[in-house]
């Protein structure tokens, strides 16, 4: 994080990724603000490292910013700054994926997003016998993607089965397991290729209820422990301004 934004980022504010040549290195350093894929947030001594925690953000959110408090002061991010201090044996990792709503040309399905998550987990070796145990923090759509990823691995190859054996459990924050009121979101994406994707999250979605049944059956047969956190007060919903920029 920068106290003052570097000129490079200000001059090319429309970009999300930069390659920075460094003398003595064969490959450039890559700086990005999109946080796509897996991003570790802390280092940990190997002798103290017991498990990894992967945090998955929700619909139309930023993989890093969605875990920060509201307001102008963005110096604190609890998964990076508080969680490793509370659990010094844990490595915190973000998983970022594209769930942009406005002006999106993505036709990814929930299955596509889940498959990408599974591929990232496999590519980072969590199917190996000496890999660390895994826990998850999942918000909103992130929980749906995680459930689908679990179901894919349960019905997939031996690597997926071994990864499932590494899971300890996790916490779901506001995950719409039986759907959500999506009329305001559908109004935002009307006519876009991602309209069907948003419709799959609605309260009338048979897919979500079937997925929840599959997931409940899966975790009941394995040594996994999950907790659900949910709001008990109403909060502002997504709105669209005249410039079509989402505000929360």
**Residue 124 maps to a domain:** yes
Q: 182's torsion region: left (phi>0), alpha (psi -120 to 50) or beta?
A: alpha
- What value does the mean pLDDT of the chain take? 85
- Give a yes or no: residue 138 inside a domain: yes
Q: How does DSSP classify residue 229?
A: E
Q: List, for residues 138-191, the tens digit of each pLDDT value.
A: 998 899 999 999 999 999 999 999 999 999 999 999 898 888 877 777 666 676
Task: State residue 238's pLDDT score.
Answer: 53
**What token pair was written down for 174?**
């506001």
pTM of the shown model? 0.85
What is the structure's pLDDT at 63?
92
CATH number of the domain at 209, please.
Answer: 3.40.50.1820
Domain that holds residue 219: 35-62+79-229
Smallest CA-to-CA distance from 137 within 37, 235, 62, 227 is with 227
For residue 78, give Cα distances in angstroms to 32, 38, 84, 141: 20, 17, 9, 20
- Please report whether residue 89 resides in a domain: yes
Within a domain: 223: yes
What is the pLDDT, as a whole number, of residue 245? 36
2 within domain boundaries = no
What pLDDT shows up at residue 139?
93
Residue 8 confidence (pLDDT) = 77
The span from the CA of 223 to the CA of 214, in Å, is 16
Domains in the chain, number: 1
By the 8 A CB rule, do 79 and 90 touch? no
Is residue 105 domain-resident?
Answer: yes
Give the C-alpha separation, 86 to 91, whole Å: 11
Extract the residue ranges of the chain whose pLDDT is less than 50: 240-248
Task: With CA atoms as reference, report the closest residue to 163 among 173, 171, 153.
Answer: 153
Q: Identify whether 1 is part of a domain.
A: no
pLDDT at position 95 is 96
Residue 82's pLDDT is: 95
26 found inside a domain: no
Kindly state the tokens that stand for 23.
Answer: 């003398």
């Amino acid at each position: 994080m920068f106290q003052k934004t570097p000129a490079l980022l200000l001059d090319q504010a429309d970009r999300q990724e930069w390659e920075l040549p460094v003398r003595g290195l064969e490959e450039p350093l890559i700086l990005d603000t999109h946080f796509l894929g897996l991003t570790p947030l802390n280092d940990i001594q190997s002798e103290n490292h017991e498990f990894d925690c992967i945090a998955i953000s929700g619909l139309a959110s930023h993989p890093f910013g969605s875990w920060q408090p509201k307001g102008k002061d963005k110096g604190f991010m609890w998964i990076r700054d508080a969680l490793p201090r509370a659990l010094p044996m844990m490595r915190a990792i973000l998983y970022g994926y594209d769930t942009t709503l406005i002006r999106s040309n993505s036709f990814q399905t929930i299955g596509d997003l889940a498959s990408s998550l599974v591929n990232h987990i496999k590519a980072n070796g969590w199917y190996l016998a000496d890999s660390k145990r895994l826990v998850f923090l999942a918000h909103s759509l992130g929980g749906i993607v995680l459930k689908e990823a679990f179901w894919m691995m349960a019905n997939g190859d031996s690597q997926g089965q071994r990864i499932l054996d590494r899971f300890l459990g996790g916490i779901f924050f506001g995950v719409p397991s039986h759907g959500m009121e999506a009329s305001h979101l559908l109004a935002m994406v009307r006519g876009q290729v991602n309209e069907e994707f948003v419709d799959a999250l609605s309260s009338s979605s048979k897919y979500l209820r079937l997925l929840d049944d599959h997931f409940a059956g899966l975790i009941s047969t394995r040594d996994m422990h999950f907790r659900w956190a949910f709001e008990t007060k109403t909060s502002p919903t997504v709105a669209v301004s005249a410039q079509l920029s989402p505000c929360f």
